[in-house]
Structure 1
Amino acid sequence: MNRQAQAAVLFLLGAALLHAGFTDLYLRYVKAGLQPLLLLSGAVLIAAALATVWYEWRGRTKRRHDEGVDHGDGDGHVHREPRVSWLLVLPLLALILVAPPALGSYSAMRTGTALQQPYGYDKLPAAGPLHLTVVDYATRAVYDHGRSLKGRRLDVTGFVALDGAGHPYLVRMALNCCAADAQPVKIALTGKIPPVLQPDKWLEVTGTYTARRTKDPVNNGPIPYLQVTEAKPVPVPKDPYDESWNK
């Protein structure tokens, strides 16, 4: 891979990062808060590519003027990098050609719940239905014993996962930084559950708090139940991951 090829790869990779950062594609890889750093990285790579082209052009111009002069070990020859460096193109092709789906039920049911006790809870509206994330409901139901949830109508959105016995869960994958560290937070469903549930389908569940709990068979972590009164399918959200667990 010569300098021109290196510059081309750097430019394309930077452009791909900018494309992902300016669209919703980056949400498949990293949390929303990292968008500025992703855009900055893309800009730096493009700047590096342009600088590489400029230095290469300047070097060639200088060699023309200095033709015939002994440069020691330089000799005016272009030194090529090892061919293995072309493997750097593979991440670029993956970013451009493959838009991976968000992690779903397969990963969720093979990983233990990542539910953690929060340092505190945001204040909830005094009246009306509560629109909660899976993480928010699960933490309040388990660690706050549902004190702020009792007697309230609750709306929670997540994707469906089924265990080996067919028991349904509402799940959201929570992440700290990127999809590589995503872990599930699960809510077990009871009550008026739709008769046919397909894994990975997204539902908006309306229900009420119940003190009933179970344990995750993978890591023995706590999983609260939600008493379902209504459930309807919804489109996959723009950001399929839940980032509220580590705030």
Structure 2
Amino acid sequence: MRRYGPAALLLLTGGAVLRITLGSELYLRYVQAGLRPYLIVSGVALVLLGLVTAVLRHRTPEHDDHHESHEPHEPHESHLDDEQEVGHEGHSHGPAGPRVAWLLTLPALALLLFPPPALGSYSAGREAAQRAAQGVGAFPALPAGNPLTLTVGEFSSRAIYDSERSLTGRTVRLTGFVTHGDDGAWYVTRLTVTCCAADATTGKVEIRGADDDVLPADTWVTVTGTWLPKGELGSDAAWPPLLTATTVTRVKQPADPYEKP
């Protein structure tokens, strides 16, 4: 079976990629939606390469591990062959390479059978406050109507940098997951992804006035409320922005858990 190891690894990896991209939106936990076609092409290529590798290895006769031949060996050559065959303990090699290479199948199996969840409160808590390097200024006019659905990133930018204070008097609706602060405060939080989960940055809004019990971390909620100004525009005191909640509703995690910049 060791001779088919490389083929098995290629098939597992390609199958895992196709599993999270075809007929599923699991890939959105890791990359932007625009990368889906590239993932599909990569998965198909890996599967085809694995099949070709398996066929070629099946057609190629397996060489004997002891390098036997019908011609007699010189005594010193036989001695060298024995030493190479025994080798060091734990470092035996077969025709398909070292046995430790099979460990490479574990990440592929994990992705195939147990896809990791999207980033959540742990990732958000590890990251210091990162805000876009932008100056205070006017923002485009908001659409009419209440409540106004905004992303956490949009609300935060306007609350911190909008010189027109366009959020004043508006009822807004935000969706994100719950994170907790050291001082007992809680936040509706969302991660923004530019390309993939590796470059995720955190945005959060502190929630005030909610009558419900404090929800567990990573609970997805939709919060409706009004902006509560604090601090000087563009200053550290203005972050994180505040929202006085009128309703807090538990919701399911969206298929795409990340916001776009």
Q: Is contact 2:12–2:109 with CA below 8 Å preserved after alignment?
A: no
Q: Is contact 2:223–2:245 with CA below 8 Å preserved after alignment?
A: yes
Which of 232, 236, 245 does residue 249 from structure 2 map onto?
232
Q: Is contact 1:213–1:224 with CA below 8 Å preserved after alignment?
A: no
Deviation at 1:221, TM superposition (A): 8.7
Q: Residues 203-240 of structure 1, C-alpha deviation per residue, up to 9 Å, x if partnerless?
A: 111111222259xxxx9993111121221111111122
Q: Is contact 1:3–1:52 with CA below 8 Å preserved after alignment?
A: no
Aligned-partner residue type, residue 34 of structure 1: L
Higher mean C-alpha deviation, range 154-163 or range 7-16: 7-16
TM-score, length of structure 1 as denominator length: 0.79
- Give the structure 2 partner of residue 98 of structure 1: 114
- Give the structure 1 partner of residue 17 of structure 2: 17
Structure 1 gaps of 5+ residues are 61-67, 69-77
- Give the structure 2 partner of residue 39 of structure 1: 40
Aligned-partner residue type, residue 8 of structure 2: A
Deviation at 1:128, TM superposition (A): 3.7
Distance 2:128 2:27 in 1: 26
Q: Is contact 1:160–1:199 with CA below 8 Å preserved after alignment?
A: yes
Larger Rg: 2
Deviation at 1:58, TM superposition (A): 5.2
Q: Residues 165-212 of structure 1, C-alpha deviation per residue, up to 9 Å, x if partnerless?
A: 211111012222322332321111123452332222111111112222
Q: Residues 125-180 of structure 1, C-alpha deviation per residue, up to 9 Å, x if partnerless?
A: 23342111111111121122463322222000111111112111110122223223
Distance 1:145 1:226 in 2: 18
- Give the structure 2 partner of residue 29 of structure 1: 30
Q: Identity rate of aligned residues, in percent?
A: 43
Secondary structure of the structure 1 residue equivalent to 2:17? helix
Deviation at 1:104, TM superposition (A): 2.1
Q: Residues 32-60 of structure 1, C-alpha deviation per residue, up to 9 Å, x if partnerless?
A: 22211211110110121122234335545
Deviation at 1:29, TM superposition (A): 2.1
- Give the structure 2 partner of residue 131 of structure 1: 149
CA RMSD of aligned residues (A): 2.8
Residues paired across the two proteins, number: 224
Distance 2:144 2:15 in 1: 47
Which of 133, 141, 162 does residue 144 from structure 1 map onto?
162
Q: Is contact 1:145–1:211 with CA below 8 Å preserved after alignment?
A: no
Aligned-partner residue type, residue 18 of structure 2: L
